[in-house]
Structure 1
Amino acid sequence: MASGRDYRGMTAEQRLADRRERLVTAAYTLFSGVGFGATTIERLCASARISNRAFYECFTGREELMRAVYERCVEETVITVSKAIGEAGPDPDSRLCAGITAYITFVTRDIRRARILHLEVRRAGDILTMERQRAVNSFTEIIEQTMGELPNGLPGRTHLLALAVVGALQELLIEWVLADDRPPLDHLIETALHILRRCFGA
């Protein structure tokens, strides 16, 4: 009976995981570079150094691969922001300042991440509608939980204001990604915090 191992001493499951990871890595660069629309399966396979047949053993198509790349970017960002908030001071303003700073700093640290999260997710169209909405809900919930009840006489509107802040933050990052002369990160952070404080009266 075959052992299930190849010449590199990997099991079939390990080989599959290795190929998936190589494809995700290749897609992270190609989708954020030439874009999702211009990236063919052949190009992905060439970059990942696997066959076209092996691609379909890992993913059903480019759309599923795009979801995997986007969801990983979101997951890593949520973890980073949540950690920063958890390590900040106990007052809402300190925690939100830490969260906004962590978000912008982490996302812009790698232009590929910024492009996937804020540009290619929209260019990909309907295939990522549900994933994008889940991401928006996750970041909206982080703001809601951090702020608690509004102190400015607008009970019941915390969710809507948090959603508005997330939308504004996304537009700021799109501006940063597309600008020929990118605004300094501290300007983005200060602007986002200004919007947030005006919304929540913090």
Structure 2
Amino acid sequence: MPTTARTWGGTTLTDRKAARRDQLIEAGLDLLGDEAGPAVSVRAACRHAKLTERYFYESFADREELILGVYEHVGAATHQALVDSVRDAPPAAADRAAAAVSAFVELILDDPRLGRVLLLAPMTEPALSKRGVELLPAFAALVREQLPAKADELDREMTAIGLVGALANLFIAYLNGTLVVSRDRLVAHCVNLLTRADALHQGRE
């Protein structure tokens, strides 16, 4: 006979574990994405999430696993936002570029923690140094898909990798305050980089 999950307060044990994990991810996002710099520890995460360490260890083996969980959460959310923006944009290259850049800028301005976790934390947090590099191909693939399909495949690959590196450094400078520029100017410049790359490849067809 099948058994139903035991409930307490209308939720199952699995639901409660998932909710506690979400609380810890949110706490880790606050700590890792803090403007003053990351200060993540098991104790700090538990205090921030208002949970005991017992509940921390039901979801994460250690602080490094929490940090990776936070980073992957932010990376997935960012990737999905970019995919959605391009999918819903008009077909013109400039419109697709504007939609993608605007979506990313909106993401990191509306919640600066996300930008700090995605772009700044890998430079100071050893647990993320390798993971940050591993995410780059996924973002480069998004850019490559917007370049003319008839262009040389290797050229498209190199252009996409170069553009992701250039855009990442622009956003890093914007987030850490070394680049002082308006939101509109930043978006316009990034869109120009992307559309010029598209035009270059169009010219090679």
Q: CA deviation at 1:180?
A: 7.1
Q: How does the TM-score come out when normalised to structure 2?
A: 0.84
Q: 1:45-194, aligned counterparts within 5 Å? A: 45-125=46-126, 127-149=127-149, 156-179=154-177, 182-194=180-192
- Partner deviation per Cα, 1:125-157 (whole Å, 9 max, x = no partner): 2x2244323321111101111113476xx6621
Aligned residue pairs, count: 195
- Partner of 1:60, secondary structure, is coil
Task: State the AA in 2 paired with 1:16.
Answer: K
Q: How does the TM-score come out when normalised to structure 1?
A: 0.86
- Partner deviation per Cα, 1:97-143 (whole Å, 9 max, x = no partner): 22122222222221111111110122112x22443233211111011
CA RMSD of aligned residues (A): 2.2
Retained in 2: the 8 A contact 1:161–1:200? no
Compared CA separation, residues 133 and 148, structure 1 to 2 (3 A): farther
Compared CA separation, residues 180 and 130, structure 1 to 2 (3 A): closer
Task: State the AA in 2 paired with 1:157.
Answer: D
Q: CA deviation at 1:194?
A: 2.4
- Partner of 2:123, secondary structure, is helix
Q: Distance in 1 between matches of 2:199 and 2:13?
A: 56
Q: Percent sequence identity over matched residues?
A: 25
Compared CA separation, residues 96 and 180, structure 1 to 2 (3 A): closer
Alignment-derived partner of residue 28 in structure 1: 29
Task: State the AA in 1 paired with 2:187.
Answer: I
Structure 2's unaligned 5+ residue stretches are 201-205
Task: State the AA in 2 paired with 1:80.
Answer: A
Task: State the AA in 1 paired with 2:184.
Answer: D
Structure 1's unaligned 5+ residue stretches are none
Q: CA deviation at 1:175?
A: 1.2
Q: Distance in 2 between matches of 1:150 and 1:12?
A: 53
Retained in 2: the 8 A contact 1:30–1:44? yes
Q: Mean Cα displacement is larger for which, 176-185 or 86-95?
A: 176-185
